[in-house]
Amino acid sequence: MSVTYKSSPSAYFTLGDDIHDTKAPAGPVEKKWATRKFEAKLVNPANRRKLTIIIVGTGLGGAAAGATLGEAGYNVHNFCFQDTPRRAHSIAAQGGINAAKNYRNDNDSVYRLFYDTIKGGDYRARETNVYRLAEVSTQIIDQCVAQGVPFAREYGGLLDTRSFGGVQVQRTFYARGQTGQQLLIGAYQALERQVAAGTVTMHARHEMLELIIHKGRARGIVTRDLISGEIEAWYADAVVLATGGYGNVFFLSTSAMGSNVTASMRAHRKGAYFGNPCYTQIHPTCIPVTGEHQSKLTLMSESLRNDGRIWVPKDPADAEKDPRKIPEEDRDYYLERIYPSFGNLVPRDIASRQAKYMCDDGRGVGPLVTEVTQEGVEQQRRRGVYLDFAEAIGRMGKKAVETKYGNLFDMYAQITGEDPYETPMRIYPAVHYVMGGLWVDYDLMSSITGMYVLGEANFSDHGANRLGASALMQGLSDGYFVLPNTINDYLAAGPFEKIDESTPEVIDAVNDAFDRIDKLLAVDGTRTVDSFHRELGSIMWEYCGMDRTEEGLMIAIDKIRALREEFWTNVKVCGTNEDFNQTLERAGRVVDFMDLGELMCIDALHRRESCGGHFRRESQTEDGEALRHDDEFAYVAAWEFTGDGQKPVLHREPLKYEAIELKQRSYK
């Protein structure tokens, strides 16, 4: 069913022009990438030495792009706010990376990976970009093996693979539960090779605060040295953002504590469209929240769902029992029951919602948690379900389970004090990944000429729900293979006009950074930065989290606006700018999270359908599945910033499916 607004949509946004040209070539989808590479202009090796590229971020996308462009002969300046590129959040990815190499001879193919990704994203991803991702996936594995990434191997010596959610083949390559770490080390050593060669200059502990635009082109950034507080401007012929996702808008998430949206929001304020900001992934396999003391949640890899079985007691009265003493006939393996074709490996959005439904029904496990619902009702619920390896240990033996998942089991034991070899793990959904991000065209260029966006920082490949093991695939695809081919087409017109500290746009950008810092330090209120962040996170989780309603989203928008107003009158930021000042760092990031949170709620409010991770309670099937409305919402929502306190402008990019039939998802 459709939703009727209680107030007009125009109260929250205005409608702009539709986007029809994404720069994708004409012709069959399987030939578009080859066509684009051939049609792109080239930069000869001598001219590359005259061109400078700034890359912000050193995760898989940023490190891979820096290494590849440096190897190509460009002058690359790579920035990260961590003390080393190895601390990029990509290192935390656990389960694996997808590729359509069909090593298992189980009928996998580029087209099947393409189809699974479009379907998994609930038909809200751009067809051309997704096919290219599937096509490039096979090259990624070869590249990483050549770098020495220690993928798991089967008895005959071939690379091993396993299954992940939303698919019925085994296409996920892995290195135990440390795949992100091993892939990042591979990209990092390639990047450091270029640092040693002199083509890449590394700037650690620098945070981007502003984007410099000169004559309509992205030409540089303004950074703050996080050790000394020095504000500096840096200039280039093109700027690349590979700054990751914004899950920390919810305060509690599986993201690294430093992960933020500042670079993207600074670019958004300068004209970069923000695509589908409300598409947030809730991961079903996280360690449950234990109390108010927490500021971080821990992910247990989706790979565990290959062999672990998810269940809850059939009788709510059994919630306090030792799970080992609950007989099989009294257990509800609900994913296997509801989705017999996919079982425990349904996509993340579906597994997450079903876990919530089980707990809402009173059959959750773990300690009682006091909650206040969107309707203002206080209730107590157990927020956890079991992930049980007893059957796998009996079938494979403890040693085999330890070989595949040992580091994950150790991590769970250290955090919870429980031995998962002896008693089932307890898991519950938590904010993990964001499918939204800055809008980009087929070349990965944003709506700002000369600014490119890679990996999780862009919106392009996952639609309304990312399939497991596809994040690492996209980051490396964008960095190693896509951007190095498409950025040449733009840089062929360079080098562009020189700019320096006397250029008016540079002066304005530097002054904007100083003004923002001075304003934060001048408030001198009584509330801590973290208290504002925690309150924002509570609003976002309650009203724009697992499910959303029209009324709840409007309440959230009002609450965020009131919170922002209080922030600017009552936040306490100690210290000075000219020093190591983590409170100042966090304050600037929380400001951007509040602006983003409001935009996320507006996006969720305008999209009156359920799709993937965006679940509108008013739009669902009789059995509680997401119900899309393709006649109204088969488009990318690209939001334009128009000024503080002004309504954002919605630009719609219609989604056209030529190689795949548009239909409602079913995993049953």
Torsion of CA 555, 559, 560, 562, to 10 degrees: 140
Nearest partner of 442 among 409, 412, 487, 389, judged by Cα: 487
Cα angle 313, 315, 320 (rounded to 5 degrees) comes to: 65
- Residues 208-224 have pLDDT tens digits of 999 999 999 999 999 99
The structural architecture, per CATH, of the domain 283-432 is Alpha-Beta Complex (3.90)
- Residues 499-558 have pLDDT tens digits of 999 999 999 999 999 999 999 999 999 999 999 999 999 999 999 999 999 999 999 999
pLDDT for residue 484 is more than 50: yes
pLDDT for residue 404 is more than 80: yes
Nearest partner of 53 among 81, 88, 78, judged by Cα: 78
200: tokens are: 């890449």
- Residues 138-195 have pLDDT tens digits of 999 999 999 999 999 998 889 999 999 999 999 999 998 899 999 999 999 999 999 9
CATH number 1.20.58.100 is the correct assignment for the domain at 503-634: yes
pLDDT value of residue 6: 58
pLDDT value of residue 7: 63
How large a percentage of the chain has pLDDT more than 70? 98
Q: For the residues 279-307, what does the mean pLDDT come to?
A: 91
Rounded distance between C-alpha atoms, residue 239 and residue 451, angstroms: 5
Name the more confident of 57 and 1. Answer: 57
pLDDT for residue 2 is more than 50: no
Supply the CATH classification number for the domain 14-279+435-491.
Answer: 3.50.50.60
| Cβ atoms of 160 and 141 closer than 8 Å | no
Per-domain residue ranges of the chain: 14-279+435-491, 283-432, 503-634
545: tokens are: 């989290």
pLDDT value of residue 421: 97
Residues linked to residue 438 through DSSP beta bridges, in sequence order: 274, 458
Rounded distance between C-alpha atoms, residue 438 and residue 454, angstroms: 9
- Residues 306-332 have pLDDT tens digits of 999 999 999 999 999 999 999 999 999
pLDDT for residue 374 is more than 80: no
Confidence at 583, pLDDT banded by 50, 70, 90: very high
pLDDT value of residue 9: 66
Computed over every residue of the chain, the mean pLDDT equals 95
pLDDT for residue 69 is more than 80: yes
Confidence at 227, pLDDT banded by 50, 70, 90: very high
Q: For the residues 648-664, what does the mean pLDDT come to?
A: 95
Task: Report residue 282 CA to chain centroid gap.
Answer: 11
pLDDT for residue 623 is more than 90: no
60: tokens are: 């898989």
